[in-house]
Amino acid sequence: GGRPGTVGEVSLNPDRSDGREMPSKFPYMKLHANDTIRTVSPSGGGYGDPFERDPARVLEDLRDGFIGAQAARSDYGVGVREAEAGVDGWVLDEAETARLRSRRPS
């Protein structure tokens, strides 16, 4: 949320000395044995300040596998911890969330 998106990239043989960036669209190109094409999909930016996202929604994203616990902390300023023994999943740590959000990056 709230961060810039990225542009896409296409590379021919990116791990070789003769590798090069390619245009995003090229209709016909002859490839040779051992050639490699690498594509990086563009991504959209987010909306709003991530540190203002409702912590309950960040927790939902974590439980759904969209983000990890470290991203919840560093990107959204939301403290989480694993639930008590016998209970699956994650729970909000409100004290850690308050601490993280009070020291938010500028």
| DSSP element (H, E) containing 56 | helix 55-63
Whether 85 has a pLDDT exceeding 80, the answer reads no
What pLDDT, in 10s, does the model give residues 51-72? 999 999 999 999 999 999 999 9
pLDDT of residue 72: 96
Residues 34 and 73 grouped into a single domain: no
Say whether both 6 and 38 belong to one domain. yes
43 shares a domain with 54: no
Look up the domain containing 28 and give its range. Answer: 1-48
Tell me how far apart the alpha carbons of residues 13 and 28 are, in angstroms, rounded to a whole number: 17
Q: Into how many domains does the chain fold?
A: 2
pLDDT interval class at 47 (50, 70, 90): confident
- Pair (43, 57) in one structural domain: no
* Cross-strand pairs, 37: 12
For residues 97 and 57, membership in a common domain is answered with yes
Dihedrals φ, ψ of 99, to 5°? -65, -45
How many whole angstroms separate alpha carbon 76 and alpha carbon 9?
A: 28
Judge whether 67 and 75 are in contact, CB under 8 Å: yes
Segment 80-85 shows an average pLDDT of 88
37 with 65, same domain? Answer: no
The answer on 30 and 64 residing in a single domain is no
**In this model, does residue 48 exceed pLDDT 90?**
no
